[in-house]
Chains A and B, each alone.
Chain A
Amino acid sequence: MSNNFYHYPGWVRLWHLINAILCLFLIVTGFSMLYSDPENALVVKFQRAVAIHNVCGVLLTISYTLFLFGNLFTPNGRNYLISLKGLGTRLWKQGYFYAFGYFKGEKAPFPVGSDRKFNPLQQVSYIGVMYLVLPMLFITGWALMFPEFILKKFLGLSGIFLTDQFHVVLGFLVVVFLFIHIYVSTMGKSMVSNFRSIVTGWQESH
């Protein structure tokens, strides 16, 4: 019996869409800049990649700030509050389910419902990305646009170089997160049901 429920409010879907588009542009231009050399324009030409990356970075900062306010003033923020009590056990159960239980036809230990938006693994990774990785990406990205504010030296190395490398490492983390995020999204009721629900707002359930 169908028991669909409204899972994603309009502003979350809109923010998610903007976030996804900007992240894709940032990843493509980021890789283009990282692996460019004078003879090889990787996907996007170097100078164009710089401009696009900067524009998208600024827009993503604005979009992220709105997301923070949204989480602060709407019930959506509750999904990002995690209880540390028993967290290890919950993470293990969810990890075991993805690795083995899923194939054995076991029930999901923390099924998504109207009262639970994320399972424990999703919750930890989303909190990590949204409240740790992205803020640090923004800070390092903005710092690279205002390099005179960066520490001149740190542990004997150029502060700009370290900031840049930290920005790159964080960028790689976002790429890894994105792949896992997309893959896990295919593990819904059908391969596309989760993608449909982030567009329509309605989550399909049995």
Chain B
Amino acid sequence: MGNRFFRHLILCFFVPVALTSAATAMQQQEETIVEEKQKGLEFSLYAEDNEQNCLRCHGKLVFSITDTVSGLSRKELMAEHNFISPDAFYNSVHWSFSCLDCHSDGFKSFPHAIETRFETGWGCLDCHGYDPTYAQYQFEEIDAEYQRSIHHTATDGAFTCWQCHDAHYYNPLARESGSGRKNILKSNEMCLHCHGNPDIIGLVTEKELTMVLPRHEWLPDPDRHLAAVRCIDCHTRMNDSILVAHEVMSADSAVNTCVDCHSQNSILMGTLYKYVSKETRDQKGFVNGVIFSNDSYVIGANRSKFISLTGMIIIALVLLIAGVHTAIRIIIKPVKKYYE
């Protein structure tokens, strides 16, 4: 029976080993995907077609047009928002697509018909929603969160997935940015793309943009906070059942007290902790990512006042009893027959 007990105990310790192996396997899988994507241009069945048609103009900052009647040619600048970087596209998760998989045949002719400007772009859910292949990414829950978010309710639907996730260039953040801190920076850049640019934000709302940095001056050491925490950690409703919460709240509802993070049951424990821990491990591996550069702990976040106080009281009582016992030993000087 003793041996059976031991065997069960030993089994318990194969679980962490198995977890480590799983993490390594996940990392290897990520590396394979990255390698595959780097070959996107080489392997895409539509690369040549894309290059000869859409990207001939949209893939260049300067493109040429020719009048087929007069034979005149001239060069023009491609508008920044219509430019698609071929390198970035072929390194995105959508590298294998033809432009016309998502854009209508109306774009085949040039100049593009005016109707094409009013076409609604595909959203993430149009391809990824309700598909068991993508179930792990929980697109449906993300969409439900988005529908409740200020991004949706305050913009009358003008704000779409694309404002943050340009499908031409989309990659999971960690794959693009690497370690935890860079990851946070990339995530915040996504927000600042609009919230740091009054012109762009005008696409979705008439509301005047409040500058981001002055609004965060109340934070002690704001630079450090903004480098260590994602905007969404304070500005979304906490939901640790999805990797990245999408229910962006109004500024008034954002986290604005220190104890929300630096205290027991910190909101960061359910969001940033899990996110940073996983992404850093995927990028740097177990030893470098988890053991030596684990940025996912938050000062004060693992403290329960009750448990800390109770623990210290118990330790104090044990020391008191030991002290009293010692004092009696010194006073009485018992005859020791302990080993007799």
Contacts and interface: CB of A to CB of B under 8 A. Distances in A.
A195 interface: no
Contact of B19 (A131, A149, A153, A179): A149
Contacts of A172: 307, 310-311, 314-315
Contacts of B270: 152, 158, 160-161
Contacts of B6: 68, 71-72, 77
A106 B15 CA distance: 48
A58 B9 contact: no
A125 interface: no
Contacts, number: 168
Given A33-B297, A108-B340, A68 B9 contact: yes
A108 B340 CA distance: 7
Interface of A: 33-38, 46, 50-51, 54-55, 58, 61, 64-65, 68-69, 71-72, 77, 81, 98, 102-108, 111-113, 131, 135, 138-139, 142, 145-149, 152-153, 157-161, 164-165, 168-169, 172, 175-176, 179-180, 183, 187-189, 204-206
B120 interface: no
A106 B334 CA distance: 9
A160 B12 contact: no
Interface stretch (B44-52, B166-174, B261-269): B261-269
Contacts of B304: 165, 168
B102 interface: no
Interface stretch (B83-91, B208-216, B248-256, B318-326): B318-326
B291 interface: yes
List of 9 A-B pairs having minimum Cβ-Cβ separation, nearest first: A172-B311, A105-B335, A142-B16, A183-B322, A205-B339, A54-B291, A164-B302, A147-B274, A107-B337
Contact of A72 (B3, B277, B336): B3
Contact of B297 (A38, A50, A180, A183): A50
A65 B10 CA distance: 7
A51 B311 contact: no
Nearest to B293: A51
**What is the interface of chain B mostly: helix, strand, loop, or mixed?**
helix
Contact of B265 (A77, A158, A179, A206): A158
**What is the interface of chain A mostly: helix, strand, loop, or mixed?**
helix
Interface residues of B, number: 59
B151 interface: no
Most A CB contacts (10 A, CB to CB) among B274, B326, B335, B339 go to: B339
Nearest to B10: A68
B12 A135 contact: yes
Most B CB contacts (10 A, CB to CB) among A50, A106, A138 go to: A50
Most A CB contacts (10 A, CB to CB) among B12, B302, B307 go to: B302
Contacts of B308: 34-35, 168
Contacts of A50: 294, 297
A107 B340 CA distance: 6
Interface in B1-20: 2-3, 5-6, 9-10, 12-13, 15-16, 19
Contact of B13 (A35, A38, A65): A65
